[in-house]
Amino acid sequence: MRLSDKVAVITGASGGIGAATVAKFVAEGARVLAADINREAAEEVAARHGDQVLAAAVDVTDYAQVVGMIDQAVERFGTLDVMLNNAGIGSAKMLLDHDPAEDFDPVCKVNQNGVYYGILAAAKKLQSLGKPGVIINTSSIYGTMASEMTFSYNTSKAAVDMMTKCAALELAPLNIRVVAVAPGRVDTPMLRQYEALGLWDHIRREQMRGEFTQPAEIADIFAFLASQESNCINGVTVMADDGFAQFKYPLLPEAVS
Ligand SMILES: NC(=O)c1ccc[n+]([C@@H]2O[C@H](COP(=O)([O-])OP(=O)(O)OC[C@H]3O[C@@H](n4cnc5c(N)ncnc54)[C@H](O)[C@@H]3O)[C@@H](O)[C@H]2O)c1
């Protein structure tokens, strides 16, 4: 097993990607603190995995709660090895329709500040424990691609990519790796918002192979990056988008419809 005896903290743990990653990490031998702003949903995820998973209600926009989350993991499981900053929210409004307080600030608070707080709290804890570790951040293809109606989301994910690089550089002397993963379109509640807009089949046809990525496929990549097998990968955002960011649309959409 890749993550035997490892202790991981995962935020956004009851969402599509988060819950799949909790299951994958447990299957690989890790003990996991599953944190989410939705307490009930986090407890449901934890209940699937017995003593190996502890649920925590945590709002990642509050630094004190993030510090408390890391302390709780160490108190319960005795150490910390992996921090996965995965909680995120979307945005969907044209720039000229923005009210900053509603359409920009909340997205950046979760996707940018939340990741920053997780990096900082985990790094300080690893330093105090005198241990190496891995910090993984969930970015997006939209951290590097522009798209309509998602100004705030893309901006926040670009920040995740840069925080990953800067943190990797400063934390390398402590033997802490910092990496990010940029999923493309993953079939989770976040993506299902397109269903309500009547765009589900349209965006599915934009996928190079005509299908969305599954949450478990992203979980596999997180497990690899959390493990010793990826020891020489550091300071980068790994694209996990089935090629979407390289080409955006297939040349012949009807070929995959
Ligand atoms: N689904 C996709 O296509 C896709 C693509 C690229 C990147 N991502 C990223 O993957 C990550 C996981 O998204 P998902 O697709 O599983 O979405 P999701 O909506 O299923 O899960 C997100 C989770 O984050 C939690 N959350 C929201 N705000 C929080 C806060 N303040 N504190 C703690 N938890 C909070 C939610 O309760 C939810 O459980 C996000 O960072 C998202 O931006 C998703």
Q: pLDDT per residue over 118-127, tens digit each? A: 999 999 999 9
The end-to-end CA distance of the chain, in Å, is 39
SS3 at position 256: helix
Angle between helices 16-27 and 215-226 (to 10 degrees): 50
SS3 at position 210: coil
Arithmetic mean of pLDDT over the chain: 95
198 in a structural domain: no
The structure's pTM equals 0.97
pLDDT score of 69 = 98
Point out the ligand 1 atom lying closest to the alpha carbon of residue 187.
1
Residues 111 and 56: their CA atoms lie apart, in Å, by 19
Instruction: Examine the pLDDT at 43 and tell me if it is beyond 80.
Output: yes
230 in contact with ligand 1, CB cutoff 6 A: no
Residues 253 and 209: their CA atoms lie apart, in Å, by 10
What's the whole-number mean pLDDT along residues 202-227?
95
Point out the ligand 1 atom lying closest to the alpha carbon of residue 59.
32
Q: Band of the pLDDT at 256, cuts 50, 70, 90?
A: low
On whether the CB atoms of residues 168 and 189 are closer than 8 A, the answer is no
Distance (Å) of CA 87 to CA 39, 112, 218, 250, 256: 14, 10, 14, 30, 32
Nearest CA to ligand 1 atom 20: 15
Residues 15 and 131: their CA atoms lie apart, in Å, by 29
206 in a structural domain: no
pLDDT score of 249 = 63
Nearest partner of 65 among 132, 113, 14, 1, judged by Cα: 113
pLDDT score of 247 = 78
Distance (Å) of CA 127 to CA 39, 56, 59, 97: 29, 23, 23, 44
23 in a structural domain: yes
Please indicate whether residue 27 or residue 247 has the higher confidence score (pLDDT). 27
Range of the domain at 128: 7-191+213-245
% pLDDT > 90, the chain: 88
Q: How far is the CA of 26 from the centre of ligand 1 (A)?
A: 20
Angle between helices 114-129 and 63-77 (to 10 degrees): 40
Task: Provide the number of structural domains found in the chain.
Answer: 1
255 in a structural domain: no
pLDDT digits (tens, 9 = 90+) for 145-190: 999 999 999 999 999 999 999 999 999 999 999 999 999 999 999 9
Nearest partner of 193 among 42, 41, 89, judged by Cα: 89
49 in a structural domain: yes
Q: Is 194 a catalytic residue?
A: no
Q: Band of the pLDDT at 250, cuts 50, 70, 90?
A: low
pLDDT digits (tens, 9 = 90+) for 85-142: 999 999 889 999 999 999 999 999 999 999 999 999 999 999 999 999 999 999 999 9
- Return the best residue to mutate from 11, 17, 112, 222 for the ligand 1 pocket (most ligand atoms within 8 A of CB): 17
254 in a structural domain: no
135 in a structural domain: yes
pLDDT score of 62 = 98
Q: How far is the CA of 138 from the centre of ligand 1 (A)?
A: 9
118 in a structural domain: yes
Question: Which one of the listed residues 142, 153, 194, 249 is annotated catalytic?
Answer: 153
Q: Which CATH number belongs to the domain containing residue 63 in this structure?
A: 3.40.50.720
Lookup result for tokens 């707080």:
117
- Return the best residue to mutate from 43, 59, 67, 89 for the ligand 1 pocket (most ligand atoms within 8 A of CB): 89
14 in contact with ligand 1, CB cutoff 6 A: yes
